[in-house]
Structure formats: structure tokens, C-alpha cells
Amino acid sequence: MIPRATSSVLRQARTQLQPRGPTPVASLSALARFLSSLAVLEQRDGKLNHGSLGAVTAAQRLGGSITGFVAGGNIKAVAEEAAKVSGIEKIIAVDNAAYDKGLPENFAPLLVENIQRGGFTHVIAGHTAFGKSLMPRVAALLDVQQISDITAIESENTFVRPIYAGNAIATIESSDEIKIITIRGTAFTAAEAEGGSASIEDGVDPKAETTTEWVVENLAKSDRPDLATAGRVVSGGRGLKSKEEFDRIMLPLADALGAAVGASRAAVDSGYADNSLQVGQTGKVVAPQLYLCAGISGAIQHLAGMKDSKVIAAINKDADAPIFQVADVGLVGDLFDKVPELTEKLKQ
């Protein structure tokens, strides 16, 4: 363990001393040498969550050295998986089952200790349930104002993020010494899971007490692609009228397209679809190649979750529905006729 730690310390010293090749952005090149990012990676049951590798992509755009962070019980396999991710120089791993469920009460002090020991300038995590719950707590412990849900990086201290449900895009500059950042997954695709060869180092474990314990989880099981990262999404709204109809009309269409299933808040609140399928400001933000929706009027809260999709197609019987203002392809008609017809024709 000691030789491993020593070699990685040397490695870190080297990366800080050696000037890097010319960087296209002039303002970044001088700083890149001093920049060091910590990408907080997620794991579940001993498997790396590849969705969380977007943090590595964001770190690559910043330049500078990249360290990955993983914690949990029997973390070795996850650390080895993470070590292969392209672009990462070092993995800090903390082996302790107390971190398996990502409870912020002990995970935040853990991260703070490792951030301070490693002297990182940027700490990046996904704007996922895990990141959203954990990172503000980390930021407060470090006395830093976090930057949430960024969609672009302009320089090492300037970032772009949507506000007002995506109705405005703000460019903001941080004066904090450590930048605590969460990223929007659809804006930073996951880094390559192969091609890297990072060293693995044990992190410090402050073993903070927590007054919170994990009790149970209830996750919707699905064989379909994951909503947040799917290439195609079909989504249904209030127009579906019932859960039975939602399942009868939308699921075959999803299968014909190999798409994930989403829903509007109205459909979720009426019990037609599970909460986890909600697309919008308060649900998932998606940006697939194709977003095909039926029976959705297009309220601004819904548009916030899907308007960055490459192609939007809409079927609605109301020709004046706001969804048609953003749809690349609109079809006015009764979804109970049109969607099954579309499904049949797509199958051929």
C-alpha cells in the first residue's frame, strides 16, 4: 500500500510540474497545469455506474489532471473498473460498506476530507439523485457556493447553466477557490470506459457518524433503455386517459422503436405511469435523438425536460397545442388511432 501511495504522489507531483502541450484555448493553458479535478463516480452493488462518467468528460473539458473517487463496501472491483476509464490518472477508493447507499451525512465528510487532502480545484458529480443530495452538503462544509446542473464549461471558473426551467441560460463566474459542480448528464456524454490505466490509491476515511439509516428502496424494473440516456424516447400524457390505455398504446410503440418510456406530470399524477418516468423541470431531463410524444400539450415545465432533443415528434388532437410550436414533425389526430397505426407501420 505504501509504495502505491508513494508512486501516485510522485505521479501527481510530475503532472503538476510538467508543462503540458499547447492547449487551444490560450486562457486555459497557463492554468491547466494547476488544475486538478476530482470526478465523483457512482457505484451500485459493486458495479460502476457508467452514467456517472459524464463527470470525467466535464473534467476533460476543464483540462488538468483528473482523479476519480469511489467509495463503498468491496470497492476493489469498482475501482479497477474505474481505473480503465479513459482520461483518469488516479482513482481514490475508500472501502467501507457504510458508503454503499450514498448517505450524504457520512459521504459528505468523507468527500471533504479527500478533497482537502488532494488539494483539488474542481469537484464534479452528476446532477443525479445522488449528486443533488450530496454535493450541496459538501459545498456547505467547504464554505463554497455550488454551481448546479451545468450544461457547458467556458473556462476554469465560468460555467453555463439553465435557469427558470430552461427558459433562460445564465453564464456565471465563480470566485470560490474550490469549484463544486454538478453536471447535466445530457450535456456531457459518459467518458470511454476503456483505454485508461489509472493508479488506485486508498483514500482517507473519517468514518463520520450518521443519524440517518437506509431502510428500503423500491425501484421500477424495466427491460427498456434507461430514460435519461436512451437514444429514443416515447412519452405519453393526459390524453392517454388511463393506465391501461397508457400501457396498451405507448408500450408497443416503445418496443417497436427500441425506445425508453416517459410521461408528462399530468400522466404521472393521474397514475397512468410511474413517478420515475416523469420528464420535465421536476422530473428527468432528456435529450434523445428522437422524442416522440402523444397526448401531451407541452406546458413549459414539460418542455424544460425535453426541448434539447434532436428531433421532436408530436401527436395531439388539439391543433393549437403548444407542443406543435417546438415539434419538428406534428400530426393532428386522435392518438388512439394514430399511435397504433404508427406502431404497426414501424414494425414492418
Subset of residues 27 to 56 that bind another protein, contact rule: CB under 8 A: none
297 is in an annotated binding site: yes
Residue 120 binds to another protein (criterion: CB under 8 A):
no
Least Cβ distance, residue 22 to another protein (angstroms) = 26
The dihedrals phi and psi of 68, each to the nearest 5 degrees, come to -100, 150
Tell me if residue 77 falls in helix, strand or coil. Answer: helix
Q: Please, which residues bridge with residue 315 across strands?
A: 294, 331
Residue 197 binds to another protein (criterion: CB under 8 A):
no
Stretch near another protein under the rule CB under 8 A, chosen from 10-18, 58-66, 86-94, 174-182: 174-182
**Which listed residue (173, 244, 318, 334) binds another protein by CB under 8 A?**
173
295 is in an annotated binding site: yes
Element spanning 329, H or E: strand 329-332
- Closest CB to another protein among 61 and 132? 132
296 is in an annotated binding site: yes
**Which listed residue (289, 318, 334, 347) binds another protein by CB under 8 A?**
289
- CA dist., res. 55 & res. 70, Å (int): 13
The answer to whether residues 311 and 289 touch, using CB atoms and an 8 Å cutoff, is yes
- Closest CB to another protein among 108 and 263? 108
Residue 279 binds to another protein (criterion: CB under 8 A):
no
- Beta strand 260-263 with 232-236 is parallel
**Which listed residue (15, 133, 199, 270) binds another protein by CB under 8 A?**
133
What lies within 8 Å, CB to CB, of 258 at 6+ separation is 225, 231, 232
Site for another protein in 207-246 (CB under 8 A): 210-220, 228, 232
Least Cβ distance, residue 144 to another protein (angstroms) = 7
Residue 61 binds to another protein (criterion: CB under 8 A):
no
- CA dist., res. 345 & res. 348, Å (int): 5
- CA dist., res. 309 & res. 337, Å (int): 25
Residue 150 binds to another protein (criterion: CB under 8 A):
no
The answer to whether residues 288 and 232 touch, using CB atoms and an 8 Å cutoff, is yes
Residue 270 binds to another protein (criterion: CB under 8 A):
no
**Which listed residue (11, 33, 61, 132) binds another protein by CB under 8 A?**
132
**207, 35, 227: which is closest to 121 by C-alpha?**
35
Site for another protein in 290-329 (CB under 8 A): 290, 300-301, 307, 310-313, 315, 319, 324-329
Grid cell in block for residue 177: 477557490
**Which listed residue (92, 139, 150, 233) binds another protein by CB under 8 A?**
139
Least Cβ distance, residue 345 to another protein (angstroms) = 6
Residue 25 binds to another protein (criterion: CB under 8 A):
no
Least Cβ distance, residue 119 to another protein (angstroms) = 19
Q: What letter does residue 279 receive in the DSSP assignment?
A: B
Distances in whole angstroms, Cα of residue 18 to Cα of each of 67, 73, 104 = 17, 36, 36
Least Cβ distance, residue 300 to another protein (angstroms) = 6
∠ Cα 94 95 96 (to 5°): 110
Cell 435557469 belongs to residue: 163
- Closest CB to another protein among 176 and 255? 176
The dihedrals phi and psi of 21, each to the nearest 5 degrees, come to -65, 165
Residue 12 binds to another protein (criterion: CB under 8 A):
no
Q: What is the x/- site pattern for another protein, positions 326-345, by CB under 8 A? A: xxxxxxxx----x--xx--x
Residue 196 binds to another protein (criterion: CB under 8 A):
no
**85, 91, 106: which is closest to 11 by C-alpha?**
91
Q: Which residues line the annotated binding site for FAD?
A: 238, 264-265, 278-282, 295-302, 316
